[in-house]
Structure 1
Amino acid sequence: MPDQSARTAHSQVSVKSQTVLPAAVLEHLAIGPDDRLRYRITPDGIRIDKAPPEGEDPFAAFTEWAGPIDDEDYAGL
């Protein structure tokens, strides 16, 4: 049974691959000017969330762990 508390929002992608985030998404993620988004590709779909400010992500320096095999191996941690 689908989660009845889930809300849905839609946006259209332009010819330049740009989109406008719906107000409900901006509000839920507390996104403002100059904030960054993080896109995580998973077997179940894409997760979008507010990225930590640069320099605050403790794993940002470990780019050698940024491959799909590592994502799968460490997904449950």
Structure 2
Amino acid sequence: MQTSSQLVHHNQAIIPEAVLEALKLREGDAIVFEIDQAGVHLRKAPPIDNAFAEALQGTLSEWDSAADDEAYADL
């Protein structure tokens, strides 16, 4: 099955109902865009991804400096 949507204001897109149902997405769910040589794939982010990201938020500030950005820019 193929379905489509259109970009609107601020590059937002409405996710078609068929995709919402297939991924069991609800309002507030996080989604992941995986980009590879075959294209871009959309999937529902597992709850563990969200919990992990929230737990880390604000704890890695020692790595958030211009010097670090410069040192690791070409990795």
Q: TM-score range by the shorter chain?
A: 0.5 to 0.7
- What is the match of residue 52 of structure 1? 46
Aligned-pair distance for 1:56?
5.8
Q: Report the count of equivalent residues.
A: 52
**Which amino acid counterpart does residue 11 of structure 2 have in structure 1?**
S
Distance of 2:42 and 2:52 partners within structure 1:
18
Q: Which runs of 5+ in 1 are unaligned?
A: 1-6, 61-77
Question: Which has the larger share of strand?
Answer: 2
Distance of 1:56 and 1:16 partners within structure 2:
28
- What is the match of residue 11 of structure 1? 5
Moved over 6 A (4+): none
Q: Which of the pair has more CA radius of gyration? A: 2
Question: Which has the larger share of helix?
Answer: 2
Please give the root-mean-square deviation of Cα atoms over the aligned residues, in Å.
1.8
TM-score when normalising by structure 1 = 0.61
CA deviation string 1:34-74 (max 9, x = no partner): 101000000100010000121268xx9xxxxxxxxxxxxxx
Alignment of 1:17-36 (within 5 A): 17-36=11-30
TM-score when normalising by structure 2 = 0.63
